[in-house]
Amino acid sequence: MRGLAVAIAVLAIASGATARADGEITLRGVYYKEHATRVEQPMVDGTFDAGDNATVDAHVLVDAITSASAGATADGSAFSERRWEAGLGYTRNLGAWRAGAAGRISTESDYDSWFASGRIARDLADKNTTIALGFGAGRDHITNAGAKGPFAPDISEHLVALMGTASLTQILSTNALASVTYDLGILDGYLENPYRTVITADGLVGERVPQRRTRNAVAALVRNYFPSTETTLIASYRYYRDGWGVHAHTPEVRVVQQAGDGLAFGAGFRYYRQTRASFWKPTYPSSDPAMEPFLTDDPKLSAFTGATMTMRFEVEGSVFGFSGLLGAMRGEAIVEYAVQHNRFGNAGVGHVALTVPFEY
């Protein structure tokens, strides 16, 4: 808290100087809790003008994970660890074109990852239509450093990820727009959880899954603003399928209600349904690779349904009578409850954020 107060004071002094550019810093905190796992995630995001036609964004976060999952460690005991991540991005406007690049790295005791991406976008028809293409590549290093006991063999493997995306956004009217997005992802390499075991007629054995997974997803979104009530309605649908036989449907609806200057409320509902992976079974009759080449006990690969309810609250400092920097600050609180009909069970999520805009 003392660090936050110092940061706000520095920004307040800076905002009194001659303005050259705009920026904002967002302090976030996320808390996730399900039956066997708890995640606490503090994060700092920053966005800054870099000249007249470019912006730079950056983030740093820490995941503090505590899990009692049976697949978490070799002996099934609870564990705690931290994951550190940092990312940096750059976007430049080039007339009707926009181009950007970003990169991130993360590290934890048994997993290191880097990912780099790029994006180009083009405005058409007096900026009523926008087409965009994105691409990315990453490489992960996976070990079983969290395994306990003298008999766990050492694992040191790699995973390569490739990503592509294409989108079309169309302004439909003064207050409405629609977009369609296609995503392609290819994962190649070590895709097992090094700690997960599977029940077979021959006893417990380590997970075995294919070394490649191709993912495809198509999403559509419509957003409409109603000026008479200052209400925004957002509806979306996403269809996903992959090379492992998983098919998923995700319809979602959200509403945002403005309640005067600087105050807004929101609510949302998202439904999820997926089929199981073609090789997923509750138990396996054999551990012989000739009979069962792939074995998994991953709940995310089983058939299940779920629903997530969301409540959102946003407020600006001006609502409380503040002016200047304090008046422009924005606070946000989000509460989500997810009903998950799988072994993970239901989950709750809490999210708070404070955004501080400034000039420099």
Per residue in 8-53, pLDDT (tens digit) is 444 444 444 445 689 999 999 999 999 889 999 999 999 999 988 9
Q: Residues 51-63: pLDDT tens digits?
A: 889 999 999 999 9
Structural domain spans, the chain: 2-359
Mean pLDDT of the residues in the chain: 91
pLDDT the model gives residue 11? 44
Quick count: other Cβ atoms within 10 Å of Cβ 72?
A: 22
| Residue that is written with structure tokens 């660890």 in the block | 81
Q: How far apart are the first and last CA of the chain?
A: 23
Quick count: other Cβ atoms within 10 Å of Cβ 11?
A: 19
Residue type, 70: A
Band (3; pLDDT cuts 50, 70, 90): very low
Band (146; pLDDT cuts 50, 70, 90): confident
pLDDT the model gives residue 286? 94
Distances (CA, A) of 280 to 271, 284, 288, 345: 23, 9, 15, 19
- Provide φ and ψ at 14, rounded to 5°: -65, -35
Q: Residues 61-110: pLDDT tens digits?
A: 999 988 875 444 444 556 788 999 999 999 999 999 999 999 999 999 99
pLDDT the model gives residue 30? 97
Question: pTM value?
Answer: 0.88
Residues in the chain: 360
The answer to whether residues 90 and 56 touch, using CB atoms and an 8 Å cutoff, is yes
Could you please report the per-residue DSSP string of 89-158?
A: EEEEEETTEEEEEEEEEEEETTEEEEEEEEEEEEEETTTTEEEEEEEEEEEEEEE-TT--STTPPP-EEE
Which residues are CB-neighbours of 186 under 8 A, at least 6 positions away? 161, 162, 163, 212, 213, 214, 215
Mean pLDDT across the stretch 117-123?
Answer: 98
The answer to whether residues 74 and 152 touch, using CB atoms and an 8 Å cutoff, is yes
CATH code 2.40.160.40 for 2-359: yes
